[in-house]
Amino acid sequence: MGNIKKLAVLVSGNGSNLQSIIDSINIGEINANISLVISNIETAYALTRAKKENLNSAFLNHKNFSSRESFDQALSELLIKHEVDLIVLAGFMRILSNSFIEKFNKKIINIHPSLLPKYPGLKTHEKVMNNNDNYHGVTIHLVDEGLDSGPIIAQARFKATKYKDIDSLISKVHSIEHKLYPLIIKMIIEGEINLNELSGKNFKCYEDELDL
């Protein structure tokens, strides 16, 4: 396969993080190709983004499968067929089965809009505002069998108290996501980050937009 790695990006929604990865590849920042974009939602705008870039894409309807395992089996067959090196979750609203995670051990990364281990799951922005947290941010982590519990690869944080409403807070998080995710993918591709050697403790930390 040479030095150019093959990525699969799994999406369920708008796909703005997918777009940031596409843009970074197009300008030569990331030495990789997106071999496949997969969504479990047919109307996800992320699929439109993929089509505009002439990327291979697939709609895999989870409602057509009798179990999580059978859906994940179909998903894994697609990924194996395209010989992907790294699976990037970018707003993929499905919990993956243990068997799937074992099959692609240390090859799946996710981005989460909180400073994990704080606020796994949904409604992270609301929790930050309701608790008057001083800081909010973004975490990129390796996917394991738990909910947003895998070893942390990188975090970027900012002063949440500067943002007085949830829309501005969310907008800030998105702006950081769109810089941090391509940067970390680049580091993984170039070997600066080794997913096989993560401790989850000595992860990369970024303050606000600094160095992003």
DSSP letter string, 58-123: EE--GGGSSSHHHHHHHHHHHHHHTT-SEEEESS---PPPHHHHHHTTT-EEEEESS-TTSS-SS-
d(CA 174, CA 181): 11
| 157 and 120 part of one domain | yes
Q: Which domain holds residue 87?
A: 1-104
Report the pLDDT value the prediction gives residue 25, as an integer from 0 to 100.
Answer: 98
Give the model confidence (pLDDT) of 189-209 as tens digits. 999 999 999 987 889 999 976
Centre a 10 Å sphere on the Cβ of residue 206 and count the other Cβ atoms it contains. 19
| 66 and 132 part of one domain | no
Residue 5 has pLDDT above 80, yes or no: yes
Centre a 10 Å sphere on the Cβ of residue 11 and count the other Cβ atoms it contains. 27
Q: Model-level pTM?
A: 0.95
Residue 16 lies in a domain: yes
Mean pLDDT, the chain, integer: 95
What percent of the chain clears pLDDT 70, i.e. is strictly above it? 97
112 is catalytic: yes
Give the model confidence (pLDDT) of 80-137 as tens digits. 999 999 999 999 999 999 999 999 999 999 999 999 999 999 999 999 999 999 999 9
Q: Active-site residue among 62, 82, 112, 174?
A: 112
CATH code of residue 54 = 3.40.50.170
| 2 and 99 part of one domain | yes
| 12 and 58 part of one domain | yes
Q: Is residue 117 reached through a cis peptide bond, with omega within 30 degrees of 0 on the bond before it?
A: yes
